[in-house]
Amino acid sequence: MNRRTRAGAASLAILLVLAGCGSSGGSDGAGKATTTTAASGSDAEASYGTGACAPADGVDEPVLTFEDAPKQCIDLDKTYTATFETSKGDITVELDTKRTPVTTNNFVNLARSGYYDGTDIHRVVESAGFVQGGSPHTQDAADPGPGYTIPDEGGPYTAEDYVPGILAMARTNEPNSAGAQFFFLAHDGGTDALASYGTYAVFGKTTKGLDVLAAMAALDDGTEAPTEQIILEHVTIEES
């Protein structure tokens, strides 16, 4: 294990601890997901919620709290692209509707709800390449989330899945605890550490803006906070 990978392993442990403080979504207090049964493989039956779908053209005011995860709002036969407009530049991601339909559906609905608008990229880890955001309530990893959690799906994941540019869900160390927080991998420093867990759902791959992610990760002040505020201004979803 090289120096960068050792650092990435340590940082992943911190990722789990921080996520456990409240992280990506709520739970029932006993660590059990508030959504339905997890989908643990790419061919597992998708498990959506019952919440309403946000308008495809967005909302006038951001919606930050929901009663349940969304029902199926996307067309699995179509392609979905997310553009993250940030204060450091744009990042374009092709979302995965095949291996992670529930996760992608959730992210698309949150983005269309304005959930991520004006939020901070609150955590950057230079050694591991982590770039984490998605916390509109508190702007940190202890955010209570959207009011629900979604099932883990698509796993197990390997080092071949955790490559530079991936977009994945952050969660607690409890299964099925992701909700809204996400993270990018800007370089391969955290690949082996992530693969040792193999449970963080990868639901997108960066097609443009990897240099932007690398620049964000490099802003680590030594405590995994950026040396300057990084704002996620808006996430635009394109359907084709």
From the CB of residue 212, how many other CB atoms can be counted at a distance below 10 Å?
Answer: 21
Least confident range from 7-21, 57-71, 206-220: namely 7-21
% of the chain surpassing 70 pLDDT: 81
Radius of gyration of the chain (CA): 16
pLDDT of residue 94: 98
Asked whether residue 4 carries a pLDDT value surpassing 70, the answer given is no
Which pLDDT band, with edges at 50, 70 and 90, does 39 fall under? very low
In a 10 Å sphere around its CB, with 0-12 CB exposed, 13-18 middle and 19+ buried, how is residue 227 labelled?
Answer: exposed
Alpha carbon 239 to its chain's center: 19
Asked whether residue 41 carries a pLDDT value surpassing 60, the answer given is no
Q: Tell me the whole-structure pTM to 2 decimals.
A: 0.85
Give 146-163 pLDDT, tens digit per residue: 999 999 999 999 999 999
239: helix, coil or strand?
Answer: strand
pLDDT of residue 105: 98
Asked whether residue 84 carries a pLDDT value surpassing 60, the answer given is yes
Q: What average pLDDT does the structure give for the chain? A: 86
Domains and their CATH numbers in the chain: 3-28+80-239 (2.40.100.10)
Taking CA atoms, 2 is separated from 21, 40, 49, 219, 222, in Å, by 30, 31, 42, 22, 20
Asked whether residue 22 carries a pLDDT value surpassing 60, the answer given is no
